[in-house]
Amino acid sequence: MVDVASSPSFDSIYNTEQSLFLTYVTKTLRSRLDRLAPDQVIRVLEVGCGPAYFAPLLSRELQGKARIVGIDPSTDDINAALERRKDVQDDNVELRVSEFLEFEDQEKFDVILFTKSLHHISPLDKAVEHANYLLAPSGTMIVEELDFNIVTEATMSWLFDRVDLISSAGLLRPSEIKNANHHANHHANHHANHHANHNFKTGQFLNRTLPVLQRWPDFPSLSERMTLITAISRVFGEANVSVTGAAFLYHFFLKAGLEDSSAGAQTLSIFMEQEVRAINSSSIIPLGFHVVAEKRQ
pLDDT tens string 188-209:
334 323 333 556 889 999 999 9
Q: Which amino acid is at 25?
A: V
Say what the pLDDT of residue 218 is.
82
User: What is the per-residue pLDDT for 184?
Assistant: 43
Q: Is 89 helix (H, G, I), strand (E, B) or coil?
A: coil
87-132 pLDDT per residue, tens: 777 889 999 999 999 999 999 999 999 999 999 999 999 999 999 9
Binned at pLDDT 50, 70 and 90, residue 224 comes out as: confident
Tell me what pLDDT residue 186 has: 45
Contact 184, 257 (CB under 8 A): no
| CA 51 – CA 214 distance, rounded (Å) | 31
Sign (positive/negative) of CA torsion 98, 102, 108, 111? Answer: positive
pLDDT tens, residue by residue, 73-91: 999 999 999 998 877 778 8
Q: In the prediction, which pLDDT does 185 show?
A: 45
Look at phi and psi of residue 282 and say left if phi exceeds 0, alpha if psi is from -120 to 50, else beta. Answer: left
Which sequence spans correspond to the domains of the chain? 13-148+220-248+285-294
Which residue from 60, 156, 58, 42 is spatially nearest to 107, judged by alpha carbons? Answer: 42
Residues whose CB falls within 8 Å of the CB of residue 44, separated by 6 or more in sequence, listed in order: 58, 66, 67, 68, 69, 109, 110, 111, 112, 113
Q: 137: Cβ–Cβ under 8 A, 6 or more apart, which residues?
A: 295, 297
Architecture of domain 13-148+220-248+285-294: 3-Layer(aba) Sandwich (3.40)
Q: How far apart are CA 260 and CA 72, in angstroms?
A: 24
Say yes or no to pLDDT of 2 above 90.
no
Omega before 73 cis (within 30°)? Answer: no
